[in-house]
A and B are shown apart, each in its own frame.
Chain A
Amino acid sequence: MHHLWLIPFFPLAGFLVNGLFGKRLSKGAVGMVAIGSVVLSFLWALKALFGLAPLETAHVERYFTWIQSGSLVIPYELAVDRLTAIMLMVVTGIGSLIHIYATGYMHEEEGFYRFFAYLNLFMFFMLTLVLANNYLLLFVGWEGVGLCSYLLIGFYFLKHSASTAGNKAFIVNRIGDAGYAVAVFLIFLTFGTLDFPKVMEAAKALPVETSAGILTGICLLLLVGATGKSAQVPLYVWLPDAMEGPTPVSALIHAATMVTAGVYMVTRSAALFLHAPIAMETVAWIGLATAVMAATIGITQYDIKKVYAYSTVSQLGYMFLALGVGAFSAGIWHVVTHAFFKALLFLGAGSVIHALHHEQDMRHMGGLRKKIPITFAVLTCAWLAISGVPFTSGWYSKEAILGAVHHHSPLMYWIGVATAAVTAFYVSRSMFMTFWGEYRGHAHPHESPPVMWLPLAALAVLSLAGGALFNVPHILEPMFPQGHGEHDFMLEVIGSSAGLLGIGLAYVMYVANPGLPASIATSLGGVYRLVYNKYYVDEAYDAAVVRPIVNGSRTGLWQFTDVWLIDGMVNGAGSLARWLGGGLRMLQSGNIRAYAAWVVAGAVIFIIAAGAIAGSQGGLR
C-alpha cells in the first residue's frame, strides 16, 4: 500500500478547513492551509511514485466497494500508471505553483478564504479524476471539477457577466456530460464493467470496426464529453467567457489542468478508440477545426486574457489532433508542455493586469518592457515556448504532434503547420502590443511581489527546458509504443520556420509598421469582422439553441403547462373546495342553538333511518 488516497485527501482537508473556518482565519493562515495541502499532496505523490518506480504496470489500490447493485459493482479504486503519474505531477506541481502565486494575486480580494476553499476542492476533484480506476469514479471527478470551475468563474458573483459566464460554462458542460454519461451506460452494457483495465482488456479482444458499430458509438459519445470539458468545436464557447474568473483560476483550471481532462480521458480510453477508426478520424478533424478556428479568432482579440483563452482552445485542438492520429503520447506531451507555458502565459498576463490595476485591454498597454522587467522576462520564455522556437518545451511536443500528423495525412499536416504559424503570430502580437512601443495607459505600473514572480520563474524554467527534461513519449513507451513518427529533420525545419515566420510577421506588423494592422483589417473588411466577432458562433448558438429553448420553455412549459394546465388544475381544485366550503360555512353560524337544532334534526333522521332498516328486516325485535 502506498496510500494513494492521501493525494486527493490533503486538498479535501484544506477545503474543509478553509471552507468551514476560513472566515475566522487570517489571510496568512488561509494561504498556508491552501498551499500546504497542495504541496503535501505533491510531495506525497512524489513519494508514492518513487516507491512505485519503475511502474511498468498499473498499481491499483482498492479501498471499499462504492456501489453494488446486481451485476454493477463499482469499487472505490485508485490506480497509478505512467500516464496517471505524469498527470499527477502536472496537476499537483503546477497546482502548487499557482496556489503560491494566487496568495499574492488575490491578496486584496474579497472572499479570500472562499477562493482558496474552491481551489482546494478543485484540486481534490481533479486528483480524483486522474487517479480513478473506473469510468464512474472518473465521472465524479469530472463533474466535481466542472462544479468548481462554475464556482470559480462566477467568483465575482456580484458581477453579472461573471455569473452568466459561470452559468454558460456549467450548461455547455452539461451537454458534454450527457454524452459522457450515455457512453458510460453503453460501456457497461457492452463490457459489463466500468473498470479501466477490464474494459481495455475486453476492447482489445474485439475486432477493429471498419464501419460504425458499438465501439464507434461509445467513442463518439466519449468525444462529446471531451469536447465539452476540453472546449472543442462545437462546445468550446464557454472557455473564452470563463476568463471572467480570477486569473489564477484561468491558469490552473482553464489552461493547465481541467480542460486537459478530456485529453486525458480519451488517452485513457485509447484501446477503445484504436478499435474505432471512424471515431479517431472524427477526433482528429474536430481537433484540427478547433485549432484553426480558435487561432484565427485569437489574432483579432484585444483583451489579453481572451487572446490566451482562444490560444488555449487552439492548443487543446492540437492535442485532440494528436490523439486523433493515434499519437497519444505526443498529445499527453503537449498537455504537459502546454500546462507549463500556458499557465505561465496566464499568470504572466495576471501579473501584467495586476501591475496595471485590472486593465486587460492590450490597446491600453505597451512599452511595459522596462517597467515590469521580471514579468517581461518570464513571459518571453512562455512566448518562445508556445511559438515553437527550437529546443523550448513547446517545440518538442509540437514537432512530435506534427510528425505524427504528417504520417497520418499530409493535408492535416499543412493545416497544422499554418496554424502553428498563426499561433506564433497572435502570441507575438500580444507580446509586442504589451511590451513594445509607447505606454498607452494611465495607471502606474509596478512590479509584482516575489510571491507572484517566484512561481513564474519556476514555470519559465519549465517552459524552456520542460520538453527536454520530460520526454513523455519515452516515459509512455510501455503504454503507447512509438511505431511511427521517426524524427524527420525536414519536417522539424518546416515546423520551426513556421513559428519563426509567425513571430517575424508580427514584428513587421506591430513593431516596424504599427499602422499596417489597421489597413489590413480595413482591406479585409467582412472577413475581419467575421473573425473579430468570433465567427458569430455565440450569436448562432443563441438563435439556434438558446432562444428556441427559452421561448419554448416560456410559452410551452411555463405559460401552457405550468400556468394553464397545472395551475389551472390546482387552482380549480382549490376554488372548488372553496366554493363547497363557502356553502357549508353557512352551517357554521357560530350560534350554539343552531348547532343544537342540527343535532336534533340528525337524531330524527337517525331514528327514522334505524326504524326503516329495522322495519325492512322484520320489525323491532
Chain B
Amino acid sequence: MPLLPVPAAVPLSYYLILSAVLFALGVAGFLFRRSLITVFMSIELMLNAVNLTFVAFSYQHRQVDGHLFTFFVMVVAAAEAAVGLAIILTVYKNRGTLAVDEIDSLKL
C-alpha cells in the first residue's frame, strides 16, 4: 500500500508539461536576469527543456532518432558555450560589466 495515492506510472504529457515549465523558467531567467552569464545559463536551461521533449517523443514513437537530436543539441550547446563564454570574456574585458542593459552599443 503506497502512502499516497500515487499512480504507478505517469502519462507522457507530464514530461512535456515539465519541459514547458522548465522552458518558461529559462525564458524568465533570460528576461529578468541582468548578468550576461546567468542569461547564458538560462539559454542552456531552455535547451535542456527542449531536449526533454525530444527524448519524450522518442519514447512515444519507440525510435532512437529523438536521442540523436538531443545528442546534436548537446554538441551545439558545447560549441556555443565555448564561443559564447569567450565572447563574454571579451565583452567583460572591453566594457568592464556584464549587465545586459548596459551593453547596448547596437542601439542607434
Contact = CB atoms under 8 A, between A and B. Distances in A.
Interface of A: 585, 588-593, 596-597, 600
A83 B24 CA distance: 98
B106 A593 contact: no
Interface string B86-102: 00000000000000110
Interface bracket on B: 10 to 19
B54 interface: no
B107 A596 contact: no
A592 B106 CA distance: 10
Contacts of A588: 107-108
Interface in B64-108: 100-101, 103-108
Contacts of B27: 596, 600
A590 B104 contact: yes
Nearest to A599: B27
Nearest to B103: A592
A590 B39 CA distance: 16
Nearest to A585: B108
Interface in B12-37: 27, 30-32
A595 to B, nearest CB: 10
Contacts of A600: 27, 31
A585 B107 CA distance: 9
Q: Is the interface of A mostly helix, strand, loop or mixed?
A: helix
A208 B27 CA distance: 97
Nearest to A593: B31
Contacts of B108: 585, 588, 590
B107 A593 contact: no
A596 B31 contact: yes
A589 to B, nearest CB: 6
Given A597-B31, A600-B27, A600-B31, A592 B100 contact: yes
A591 B104 contact: yes
5 contacts: A588-B107, A590-B104, A592-B100, A593-B101, A597-B31
A590 B106 CA distance: 6
B30 A590 contact: no
B31 A589 contact: no
A590 B102 CA distance: 9
Given A600-B27, A600-B31, A593 B105 contact: no
A593 B27 CA distance: 10
Given A590-B107, A592-B100, 12 more contacts: A585-B108, A588-B107, A590-B104, A590-B105, A590-B106, A591-B100, A591-B101, A591-B107, A592-B39, A592-B103, A596-B31, A600-B27
A207 to B, nearest CB: 80
A610 to B, nearest CB: 16
B107 to A, nearest CB: 3
Contacts of B105: 590
B104 A596 contact: no
B43 to A, nearest CB: 10
A592 B32 CA distance: 11
Question: Nearest 5 CB-CB pairs, A to B?
Answer: A590-B107, A590-B104, A592-B100, A590-B106, A596-B30
A32 to B, nearest CB: 65
B71 to A, nearest CB: 26
Contacts of B106: 590
B104 A593 contact: no
A589 B107 contact: yes
A315 B30 CA distance: 94
Nearest to A590: B107
Contacts of A591: 100-101, 104, 107
A596 B24 CA distance: 12
B57 to A, nearest CB: 15
A256 B86 CA distance: 83
A600 B30 CA distance: 11
Contacts of B39: 592
A589 B107 CA distance: 6
Interface in B38-60: 39
A593 B104 CA distance: 11
A127 B74 CA distance: 82
B30 A589 contact: no
A597 B32 CA distance: 10
A590 B104 CA distance: 5
A578 to B, nearest CB: 13
A438 B105 CA distance: 86
Contacts of A590: 104-108
Contacts of B101: 591, 593
Contacts of B103: 592
Contacts of B104: 589-592
B25 to A, nearest CB: 13
A597 B100 CA distance: 14
Contacts of A596: 27, 30-31
A291 to B, nearest CB: 74
